[in-house]
């Protein structure tokens, strides 16, 4: 069992893999694709690339969310796997009872798996963290693992839609606005992501403001933190930088709220991982750290990597109550990225602490 006291500094000093464009992707027989057949266009991108390669012997593990959401791509995935001659396995994932999902994945992995590709494009933030923490372990049976992520061509809301809604909100400050999802069903605290830290230090909440302001509001009201650190995502496309400011306004965040505020890229996972390690170094000796991963998909990957090494940080997730109409979500698909996790798995096994 590794001592967690200074694992953060060991990890920070290591060489991390780069997030690379996946135009070169070449699947092989024995590979496993772990996907979530949601309703966004981009959830089919990686599967279509694999199908074009005409490689036999691929296994597709497909998460089926409950409660069910209309317009999911389950039928298309089944048809694609049947035409390609691939083994297709459905794995149930209950958003209202999400514990232990990584164990279910491990049970369904073929014994001769070559590489496990986790396509996070259609996955929830909590599921991403659960999978990385549960699968990226220093074990002889751990397969080679890569994260795949597909950028969408367009992300709602548009700038005009956001500004119009925020302007109307100014005349009705009692209303709670939301865009992609609405409300919070409950605060998910799964056993596999619970902290081993039981000291009586004050709580510091580290959270990512989103277009669903009830997520941050619920986390604060239930956890009752003494201090809060907010990580604000900045899109790599300068034309989308307005989103950072809009999310701040939506969550009523300003200089007077007393929070520690940090801005980092929504795409570059390493920026987020470095920020989390820095926050841990700064605050962990005097605070119980509680982390709510409601940022971008790649920021959430950083949370998963961070938590796989640092076990004395509590993960909480404000599960959305409901989602808006699928037509109001992302459309199209652009660049596919790959992040190879093998380096981090090796760091687990070679950590001298």
Could you read off the pLDDT of 104-146 as tens digits, one per residue? 999 999 999 999 999 999 999 999 999 999 998 877 577 899 9
Higher-scoring residue by pLDDT: 68, 222? 222
What DSSP element (H or E) covers 83? helix 74-84
Instruction: Please give the Cα distance from 67 to 323 (Å, whole number).
Output: 11
For residue 197, what pLDDT is reported? 65
List the alpha helices (DSSP H) in 14-69. 45-53
Measured between alpha carbons, how far is residue 286 from residues 133, 199, 203, 280, 289 in Å? Answer: 25, 10, 9, 10, 9
For residue 3, what pLDDT is reported? 45
Residue 172 in this model has a pLDDT that exceeds 70: no
Tell me what percent of the residues of the chain surpass a pLDDT of 70. Answer: 89
Q: Which residues contact 289 (CB under 8 A, 6 or more apart)?
A: 195, 203, 204, 206, 279, 280, 283, 312, 313, 314
For residue 278, what pLDDT is reported? 96
For residue 2, what pLDDT is reported? 43
Q: What are the structural domains of the chain?
A: 7-154+331-350 (3.40.50.11700), 176-328 (3.40.50)
pLDDT tens readout for residues 277-314: 999 999 999 999 999 999 999 999 999 999 999 999 99
What DSSP element (H or E) covers 221? helix 213-223
Higher-scoring residue by pLDDT: 121, 69? 121
Calculate the average pLDDT of the chain.
88
Q: Which of 352, 307, 305 is nearest to 192 (CA)?
A: 307
Instruction: Please give the Cα distance from 42 to 329 (Å, whole number).
Output: 11
What mean pLDDT is predicted for residues 330-335? 87
Instruction: Please give the Cα distance from 22 to 229 (Å, whole number).
Output: 33
Identify which of 75-84, 156-165, 264-273 has the greatest average pLDDT. 264-273
Tell me which residue has tokens 């929504």: 266
* Radius of gyration (C-alpha) of the chain in whole angstroms: 20
């Amino acid at each position: 069992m590794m001592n967690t006291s200074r694992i953060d500094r060991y990890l920070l000093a290591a060489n991390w893999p780069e997030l690379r464009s996946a135009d070169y992707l070449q699947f092989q027989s024995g590979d496993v694709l772990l996907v979530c057949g949601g309703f966004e266009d981009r959830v089919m991108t990686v599967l279509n690339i694999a199908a074009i390669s005409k490689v036999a012997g691929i296994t597709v593990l497909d998460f089926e969310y409950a409660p069910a959401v209309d317009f999911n791509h389950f039928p298309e995935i089944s048809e694609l796997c049947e035409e390609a001659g691939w083994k297709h396995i459905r794995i149930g994932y209950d958003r209202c009872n999400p514990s232990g999902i990584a164990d279910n994945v491990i049970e369904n992995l073929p014994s001769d798996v070559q590489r496990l590709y986790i396509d996070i494009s259609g996955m929830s933030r909590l599921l991403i963290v659960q999978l990385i923490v549960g699968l990226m372990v220093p074990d002889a049976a751990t397969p080679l693992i890569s994260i795949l992520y597909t950028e969408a061509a367009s992300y709602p809301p548009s700038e005009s839609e956001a500004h119009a809604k925020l302007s109307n909100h100014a005349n009705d400050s009692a209303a709670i606005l939301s865009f992609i999802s609405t409300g919070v069903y409950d605060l998910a605290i799964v056993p596999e992501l619970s902290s081993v830290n039981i000291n009586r230090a004050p709580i510091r909440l580290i959270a990512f403001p989103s277009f669903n302001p009830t997520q941050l509001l619920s986390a604060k009201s239930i956890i009752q933190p003494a201090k809060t650190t907010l990580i604000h995502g900045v899109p790599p496309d300068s034309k989308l930088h307005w989103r950072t400011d809009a999310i701040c306004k939506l969550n009523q965040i300003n200089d007077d709220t007393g929070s520690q505020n940090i801005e980092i890229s929504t795409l570059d996972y390493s920026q987020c991982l470095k920020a989390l390690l820095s926050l841990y170094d700064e605050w962990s000796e005097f605070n119980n750290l509680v982390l709510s991963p409601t940022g971008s998909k790649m920021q959430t990957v950083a949370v998963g990597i961070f938590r796989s090494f640092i076990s004395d940080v509590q993960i909480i997730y404000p599960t959305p109550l409901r989602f808006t109409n699928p037509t109001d979500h992302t459309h199209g698909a652009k660049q596919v990225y790959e992040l190879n996790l093998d380096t981090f798995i090796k760091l687990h096994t070679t950590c001298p602490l």
